[in-house]
Amino acid sequence: MSNAQSRRPGRPPLVEVDEPTAQKILRAAAHCFMEDGYAAVSMDQIAARAGVTKAVVYYYYRSKTGLFHQAMLFVMQMSRERTRSILRGPGPLRDRLLQLTRTRLGIDATLDMNHIMRGSQAVLKAEQLKDLREAEERLIQVIADEFQAEAERGHLRAIDAPFAARAYLATLAMAKLEVERRGGGEDVIEWLASQVVDLLWSGIEPR
């Protein structure tokens, strides 16, 4: 039997069967889901964005829910690694937070997980939802760990570090919406990054 005959339906030629293609599809899916949310994205859109056929997408990822699950785990892993890298860098925590906030506000996609997840809860398996919740918690923990470490060094007052991390991410998501409302641009991102960090750092008490 020839290679073409032995391939299952939708399988791309052997020269295309490699990790970069799977990764390219995963990145394309991540962008689509982050821009429009689960419910609004089709496999056709993902295929077009990845520059492959829909059959190739289905070869690597057998369902939209499976692809969404893997894409969101990928996004959260990348976000966690980038966040850890910035927060463990040199300089005062406030400067590192400002850098992290600028970076995240500059991402060309929503940071609102409720928007991204819309329509997925009814179709994802319980184990997949558990995976995504745990991945999100690991991202929160990276930020909380740095807050806790700074508090133990005496650089922050005693705080509930996980709550502070959640508050930061929630404020960041709202700031992302404000970036879009104001039309984006580096000046807007810089100003809003300062607003987010100032609000977290000093609250609204008069100075």
DSSP 16: G
- Please report, for the domain that includes residue 171, its CATH number: 1.10.357.10
The 10s digit of each residue's pLDDT in 175-207 is 999 998 999 999 999 999 999 999 999 887 776
Do the domain assignments include residue 115?
A: yes
The 10s digit of each residue's pLDDT in 134-145 is 999 999 999 999
DSSP 7: S
Structure-derived torsion over alpha carbons of residues 198, 114, 26, 142, reported in degrees to the nearest 10: 40
Please give the Cα distance from 53 to 148 (Å, whole number): 48
Please give the Cα distance from 26 to 71 (Å, whole number): 6
DSSP 159: -
pLDDT surpasses 60 at 2:
no
Do the domain assignments include residue 92?
A: yes
Do the domain assignments include residue 22?
A: yes
DSSP 61: -
Count of the separate structural domains present in the chain: 1
Mean pLDDT of 21-40: 92
Do the domain assignments include residue 175?
A: yes
Q: Where in the sequence is the domain holding 161, given as residue range(s)?
A: 7-202
Looking at residue 145, what is its pLDDT?
97
Cα–Cα–Cα angle for 103, 144, 189, rounded to 5 degrees: 20
Contact between 113 and 137 under an 8 Å Cβ cutoff? The reply is no
Do the domain assignments include residue 114?
A: yes
**What's the pTM?**
0.82
Looking at residue 113, what is its pLDDT?
78
Looking at residue 42, what is its pLDDT?
96
Report how far Cα 50 is from the mean position of its chain's Cα atoms.
18
Mean pLDDT of 158-186: 93
Structure tokens at 141: 């923990």
Contact between 47 and 57 under an 8 Å Cβ cutoff? The reply is yes
Overall residue count recorded for the chain in this entry: 207
Do the domain assignments include residue 207?
A: no
Do the domain assignments include residue 33?
A: yes
pLDDT surpasses 60 at 123:
yes
Do the domain assignments include residue 129?
A: yes
Q: Is 145 exposed, middle or buried (0-12, 13-18, 19+ CB in 10 A)?
A: middle
When the pLDDT of each residue in the chain is averaged and rounded to a whole number, the result is 88
Higher pLDDT, 17 or 165: 165
User: Tokens 């990845």 identify what position?
Assistant: 50
The 10s digit of each residue's pLDDT in 55-89 is 999 999 999 999 999 999 999 999 999 999 999 99
